[in-house]
Amino acid sequence: MDCPKAHLVLRNANVITLELRHPRARTIYIQGGRILKVSSKDISRDQAGPGTRVIDCAGKTVIPAFHDAHCHIPAYAESLLNTDVGPASVSSIEDMVVRVKEAAAALPAGSWIRCAGYNEFYLNEKRHPTRHDLDRATTAHPVKLTHRSGHAHVLNSPALALAGLDNESEEPPGGMIERDLETGHPNGLLYGMGNYLAQRIAPAGDNELDAAMTRAGRVLLSLGITMVQDASPGNDMARWSRFIEWKRKGLFAPRVVMMFGAVELDSLQGRQPFYDKATGLGSGAVKIMIDEVRGSLNPPQQDLNRLAADIHRRRLQAALHAVEETTVEAAALALEHALREAPLKGHRHRLEHCSVCTPAMARRLARMGAGVVTNPAFIYFSGERYLSEAPPYQLKSLYAINTMLEAGVRVAAGSDAPVANPDPLKGIYAAVTRRAATGQVVTPGEAISALDALKLYTINAAYSCFREKQTGSIAKGKWADLVILNGDPLQVNPEELKHLKVEMTVMDGEVVYSEAI
């Protein structure tokens, strides 16, 4: 019998397949971009020929490659160009002024200085900076400071002028302009105006962004991530064309599923979620942002219901951004409304973040078949802030992953990068231990097993964009996307999970990252 030969074999490996019937294996045969065979025996001569590359894993652990089910890739790439003013780099507004001064000294007058990652909670002054602070650093350069959440920005005076914001400016829908009490002039602090600013002030130049995308792709592969879902609400046809270009030119290596913002709904007619293996690009859910501005729901419930029903009727997948209990409730109501109107199984509508989820809400979501894409790594990166700021009733249901899984909700994980670092192992650590980087424990009753945590970043992430038949576990015929780890996440002491390292990443049957190189 003519037996196909593998071009790559991983032997002597401790393989965690995430397949129910054969959870462990020893050898993986790969041909082209796919897994040819998974075996519990050592390498067989039949399937390896003289041209076969054999990697001896020396007993190390092989898992399916990671999949980030919710992130913002171009923004993450841009963040790599930014001056970091996050808690790791500055501890006061004064430090921040020094960092901006340093950046200004290195750039010609008039060029933009972009800083990111600030978080007022960690600043000695315990307040947001204003334009007055930034003007002390420079008035010869426009400065844009982005909050860690991405939902607040601070501009200095030249940047405010370039953005066309002055005493007369009206707030765009969903936005809020803080003002000096006496003069009414904007004090530089802006909430919910990310899109407004993106349209008005110079983004990174194309070449600059191209280079940053390449860097971002390499960082993700080094973290074992071979697939991402871009969840940016502003994603439109222009962004789609950019992604096609980045993929065609080979500038961004990981596989991409791009969600579209609801504004593009009409152009998506008849376009079901898909993924094209040849280009490495696909389109995913339709993103709806739900937030609360000054205590009222945006968009209002009726509009939200209409939008969700519209997406549902077109047989598209809805992804509703809902963080707080009230917005999660609004998202659930909207989906229940849509499903009542047109019952459908297998829709896979999903809630993004669902940061506060009571047991009753988890049961409702399970009943209607809605999934959740949440962010365990937020516990690692912001856990101590939650403990000091969140009211007890919220803390009780914060990132309630165990409650959701027990209720039968399909839960996947995303990093929300650049909001948090994209390293999945930090998220897995936090999902299992519920510990922040500082060691504090957040809602320990919501801890889950390492196996379930691994699934959030692999098979469940694949399911969240209809790709579980192609990826997310190690099985014959699936894409050959694998990661070699320096330890077994299911065996190590949970405290060790955060120290695990990706030693090699294989994507589409090729070694795309190796620690040794």
Burial class of residue 255, CB neighbours in 10 A (0-12, 13-18, 19+): buried
Residue whose CB is nearest to Zn ion in the complex, by number: 416
Instruction: Map residues 288-307 to x or -, x wherever contact with Zn ion holds by CB under 5 A.
Output: --------------------
Whether 368 and 344 have beta carbons less than 8 Å apart is answered as: no
Q: Considering beta carbons, is residue 55 or 193 the nearer one to Zn ion?
A: 193
Q: Considering beta carbons, is residue 69 or 231 the nearer one to Zn ion?
A: 231
Query: Would you say the C-alpha torsion 347, 352, 353, 357 has a positive or negative sign?
Result: negative
Whether 332 and 301 have beta carbons less than 8 Å apart is answered as: no
First and final C-alpha spacing in the chain: 39
Q: Considering beta carbons, is residue 231 or 290 the nearer one to Zn ion?
A: 231
Placement of tokens 């950019």 in the chain: 242
Rounded Cα–Cα distance for residues 469 and 49 (Å): 28
Verify binding: residue 416, Zn ion, rule CB under 5 A.
yes
Whether 114 and 159 have beta carbons less than 8 Å apart is answered as: no
Instruction: Return the structure tokens found at 408.
Output: 């039968």
Q: How many residues bind Zn ion (CB under 5 A)?
A: 2
Whether 516 and 455 have beta carbons less than 8 Å apart is answered as: no
Closest approach of Cβ 72 to Zn ion, in Å?
A: 6
Closest approach of Cβ 109 to Zn ion, in Å?
A: 34
The DSSP secondary structure of 262-283, one letter per residue, reads: GGGGGGGTT---EEETTTTEEE
Q: Considering beta carbons, is residue 233 or 254 the nearer one to Zn ion?
A: 233
Rounded Cα–Cα distance for residues 427 and 389 (Å): 21
Give, as ranges, the residues between 94 and 133 that touch Zn ion (CB under 5 A).
none
Q: Considering beta carbons, is residue 5 or 151 the nearer one to Zn ion?
A: 151
Verify binding: residue 68, Zn ion, rule CB under 5 A.
no
Closest approach of Cβ 257 to Zn ion, in Å?
A: 14
Q: How many CB atoms lie within 10 A of CB 268?
A: 17
Q: Considering beta carbons, is residue 19 or 416 the nearer one to Zn ion?
A: 416
Instruction: Return the structure tokens found at 266.
Output: 């009409």
Closest approach of Cβ 148 to Zn ion, in Å?
A: 12
| Segment contacting Zn ion by CB under 5 A, of 302-310, 408-416, 424-432, 473-481 | 408-416
| Segment contacting Zn ion by CB under 5 A, of 15-23, 31-39, 403-411, 412-420 | 412-420
The residue type at 229: Q
Helix (H) or strand (E) holding 13: none
Verify binding: residue 481, Zn ion, rule CB under 5 A.
no
Give, as ranges, the residues between 186 and 245 that touch Zn ion (CB under 5 A).
231
Instruction: Return the structure tokens found at 3.
Output: 């037996």
Report the DSSP beta bridge partners of residue 293: 296
| Segment contacting Zn ion by CB under 5 A, of 14-22, 141-149, 245-253, 413-421 | 413-421
Q: How many CB atoms lie within 10 A of CB 211?
A: 16
Closest approach of Cβ 461 to Zn ion, in Å?
A: 15
Whether 260 and 283 have beta carbons less than 8 Å apart is answered as: yes
| Segment contacting Zn ion by CB under 5 A, of 45-53, 116-124, 198-206, 409-417 | 409-417
Q: Considering beta carbons, is residue 80 or 490 the nearer one to Zn ion?
A: 80
Q: Considering beta carbons, is residue 9 or 231 the nearer one to Zn ion?
A: 231
Closest approach of Cβ 376 to Zn ion, in Å?
A: 14
| Segment contacting Zn ion by CB under 5 A, of 1-9, 248-256, 338-346, 415-423 | 415-423
Which residues of the shown chain bind Zn ion in the complex (CB under 5 A)?
231, 416
